[in-house]
A and B are shown apart, each in its own frame.
Chain A
Amino acid sequence: MKITLARARRRRWLVYLVVVPMVVVVGFPLYWMVNTALTTQVDLYAKPQSLFPSLAHLGQISHSFGKVPLAGMFSNSTFIATGTAILSVLLGLVSAYALSRFRFRGKGIIGFFLFATQMVPDGMFLIPLYTMFISLGLVNNLWGLVILNATLTLPVSTFVIKAGIDTVPVELDEAARIDNCPRLGILLTVILPLVFPSVVAAAVLAFFEGWGEVMFASTFLSDPGKFPASVELFNLSASPEASTPIIMGAAVLYTSVPIVFFLFIQRRIITGLTAGAVKG
């Protein structure tokens, strides 16, 4: 008994020996972002940056309001990310339903097509998409980005939702069909409530994509009034006259949105994501 206790205690020390440095290293950049946001530009360069934030500068984050068009960039980001999530999930839901419940020719090919598109980096299509968007008049249009992001996230949404539908017994559909329920009715009233967690996971993943995407947005948008937060921050990071604490303040606000989302529905996302990854 004594030996096992000693052993358990030693093991606990071993765990802390690994976990404490990891937590410090991984968490530090986020801490440093907040800390830098709460310093002044003068303090930043006059002496080595303080390791601890001074709460006296808490109001400084609000200074970003004057220097960075926060209201505009966050409403644009919200529009793009929400639009992406809704469209991606709607399309993913019907695709997943078709792939999970119907038998038809070419199903394997469609599945492989979905899988393959996921594997080629989106950036490889930047050039032809740019010229296409010019021809279609979708440049400088937030809807264009919504449709593009939704299409790019469609395979993931489909796989995540399909993994959910696959676990719903087909007998439930059949029972509903005997009662003469139409196909769409089955999807909405029988299946959707059961796969809701997967739908939420897919929506959050698509939202993150829309919120973070910057390559297409910075290429396709030239009107500063339409810049989402990602593009605004991207431009700030390259601008020599931008003040570091102000940039960090805006970055804190920008990052806090997905972090809050994530902490709430972490587990669901992971279940959905694993299913999507493993089923491919």
Chain B
Amino acid sequence: MTTRRLEVQSESPVGAPSTRGPRWAIPEWVTAGVLLLIPMLLLTIMRFIPLLREVWMSFTNTKLTNPNGGRYVGLHNYDVLLSGPNLHQVLLNTAKYAIGTTTLALVGGLVAALVINTKFTGRAFARAVLVSPWAVPGVAAGIIWLWMFTDNGIIARTLQATGLPQISWLASPHWAMVSVVVVSAWLSYPVVMLVTLSALQSVPEEITEAARIDGADRIATFRFVTWPHIRPTFVLVGLLVVIWSVKRWEVITVLTGGGPVNSTATIVVATQKQAFSYGQVGMGAAYAVVGILIASCLVGGFYLLQRREAAAMN
């Protein structure tokens, strides 16, 4: 399989000009343009124009009651954002949420992948259970965990039975963040597990065996043979989890609505709330522009890292 792909790539790089077409053939760029016309048009309408519109709206005092009738107010919204404590807190929340989710999802995913990669009775069942959260829609996850986190819910009961102190999960700012991170990681870790698992299965058995024969123990084999092999994939999936967790809206909204006292309001939650709960559409747009700027920096970072990882893989 691998050899076939390599051979194909070396012989004819993707996108190589086909020289043997009929003589009357339409130029390649015309065909490609026709194929890409509708997709690019839609992306422009749904992504690029909204971007311009958003930047414009962030300079207006648009209200929800009259969404297309805002008046230009210059930098007023940004002034308010940058001088108040809210934006600072929202960005901090977003960072906490993304880092917490990613760390938990990566650790959980790696451990799960390593375990599922060994042979044991009941492995198929364990695998099915461990990946199942991936298919659970965010709203459903929110509803389930909301019920588990309630004051007399099953988590509180379990803690009580084991004699641990009671925690009001969703009512204290600190634990509310922990709660949304747990749920978010529960949803995200299966992808880490599955991607890592497929990377693990691509580690040639000969080299791990060779390491074992050379006297390396399990931990050393993992650290010096397996880990370098799966690292590029693992880093990439980690970055994807960061991006996905910043996107998440419904889990936080169902569980805490961004509260208590804004402690779980990430940038997406704050933007939506600002516009559709408080009716301050212009101010919401300013939040979003800040979010887009930060996301763009992350995209740049991701891109550079990916190129480095790709170079490392070759």
Q: Interface on A for B, CB 8 Å cutoff?
A: 11-12, 15-16, 18-19, 22-23, 26-27, 29-30, 32-33, 36, 48-49, 91-92, 94-95, 97-105, 107, 110, 112-132, 134-135, 147-148, 150-152, 154, 158, 166-167, 169-171, 173-174, 177-178, 180, 183, 208, 211-212, 214-215, 219, 230, 233-234, 236-238, 244, 247-248, 251, 254-255, 258-259, 261-263, 266, 270-271, 273-274, 277-278, 280
Contacts and interface: CB of A to CB of B under 8 A. Distances in A.
A123 B155 CA distance: 31
The 5 closest A-B pairs by CB, nearest first: A123-B268, A212-B137, A262-B135, A104-B29, A128-B50
B82 interface: no
Interface string B124-137: 01101111111111
Given A30-B144, A104-B32, A211-B137, A127 B275 contact: yes
A16 B120 contact: yes
A21 B243 CA distance: 29
B28 interface: yes
B267 interface: yes
Contacts of B67: 130-131, 134
B260 interface: no
B254 A234 contact: yes
14 contacts: A19-B120, A19-B126, A23-B126, A94-B38, A98-B36, A121-B267, A122-B247, A125-B46, A167-B8, A170-B14, A177-B20, A233-B140, A254-B139, A259-B136
A271 B198 contact: yes
Contacts of A122: 247
A182 B74 CA distance: 55
Nearest to A157: B39
A207 B140 CA distance: 16
A115 to B, nearest CB: 8
A215 B291 contact: no
Interface stretch (B110-118, B168-176, B221-229): B110-118
B115 A277 contact: no
Nearest to B197: A270
A57 B248 CA distance: 34
